[in-house]
């Protein structure tokens, strides 16, 4: 029988620590959402609820689809200069006419709760980050909680996006207690992709395609992390085909695996931002 790597117990532990910190400090998270995107609206609603539950004030700025890049950047500059704002995120994806690069670059690094500003990603690459993108950090918290340390393991990540694949590769390869893995970063255009994934001690799939990854791509006994989440016919499914998980030593279910950790680690990032800001005052 494979071991289920459920995210809820890990998330609850993190959220308990966040709530304890929030009882002693005033924290505010601002979320910018542009347009009508069903999945994004669901994610944002969950973030708002969890923030309120742990005592963090959460403010949503829901802008219309026609909003321009300049208008989003202007709002970010305003929030940068608002002392009450501890940190902010811009919910991705943005509508196609908005420059994601310009928007993310506009956030002050010390208020960047998603850790996607170039300065924060640079510190991450050097092993000096004080906070990290929420989903990759959640995956590390999950592995350590279940006593599955990445050190010395061959980790294959399928997906090179800025939200998961690239920062996770940086985190796992650093000479730090949660790192020291050998990391292969693949993507949908990797030739002979399954030849790489079949070598993985730990396989992470984050391609954003429902039930896309096949059983023949998994080495028997591997630890499998499914980052995907999609709604089909009223149910949530991941990137990996269900039959592929039967040969895993341990795997994350969808729903209930990585998902709960993303929000918990985002709110934990807000505490880290507050500590850093307090030290710099």
Q: Where in the chain is the domain with CATH 3.40.50.10860?
A: 25-109
Any idea which residues carry the catalytic annotation?
47, 91, 114
Q: Kindly indicate whether the domain formed by 25-109 is annotated with CATH number 3.40.50.10860.
A: yes
Q: Where in the chain is the domain with CATH 3.40.50.720?
A: 134-260
Task: Tell me the whole-structure pTM to 2 decimals.
Answer: 0.94
CATH of 134-260, one of 3.40.50.720, 1.10.510.10, 1.10.357.10, 3.40.190.10: 3.40.50.720
pLDDT in tens, the chain (281 residues): 799 999 999 999 999 999 999 999 999 999 999 999 887 888 899 999 999 999 999 999 999 999 999 999 999 999 999 999 999 999 999 999 999 999 999 999 999 999 999 999 999 999 899 999 999 999 999 999 999 999 999 999 999 999 999 999 999 999 999 999 999 999 989 999 999 999 999 999 999 999 999 999 999 999 999 999 888 888 999 999 999 998 899 999 999 999 999 999 999 999 999 999 998 76
Cα separation of 236 and 238, whole Å?
A: 7
Q: 14: alpha, beta or left, given left = phi > 0 and alpha = psi -120 to 50?
A: alpha
């Amino acid at each position: 029988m494979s071991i289920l790597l459920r995210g809820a117990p890990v998330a609850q532990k993190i959220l308990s620590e966040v709530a304890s910190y929030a009882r002693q400090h005033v924290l505010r998270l601002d979320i910018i959402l542009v347009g009508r995107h069903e999945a994004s609206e669901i994610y944002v609603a969950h973030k708002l609820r969890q923030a309120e539950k742990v005592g963090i004030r959460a403010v949503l700025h829901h802008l219309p689809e026609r909003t321009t890049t300049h208008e989003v950047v202007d709002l970010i500059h305003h929030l940068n200069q608002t002392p009450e704002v501890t940190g902010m995120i811009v919910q991705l994806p943005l509508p196609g006419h908005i420059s994601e690069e310009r928007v993310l670059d506009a956030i002050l690094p010390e208020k960047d709760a998603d850790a996607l500003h170039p300065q924060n990603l640079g510190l991450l690459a050097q092993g000096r980050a004080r906070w990290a993108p929420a989903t990759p950090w959640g995956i590390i918290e999950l592995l350590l909680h279940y006593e599955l340390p990445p050190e010395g393991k061959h980790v294959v990540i399928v997906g090179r996006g800025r939200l998961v694949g690239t920062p996770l590769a940086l985190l796992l390869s650093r000479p730090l207690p949660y790192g020291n893995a050998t990391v292969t970063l693949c993507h949908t255009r990797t030739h002979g992709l399954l030849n790489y994934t079949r070598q993985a001690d730990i396989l992470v799939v984050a391609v954003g395609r429902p039930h896309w990854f096949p059983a023949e791509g998994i080495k028997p006994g591997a630890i499998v992390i499914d980052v995907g989440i999609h709604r089909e016919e009223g149910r949530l499914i991941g990137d990996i085909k269900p039959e592929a998980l039967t040969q895993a030593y341990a795997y994350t279910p969808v729903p209930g695996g990585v998902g709960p950790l993303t929000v918990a680690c985002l709110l934990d990032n807000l505490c880290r931002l507050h500590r850093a800001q307090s030290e710099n005052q």
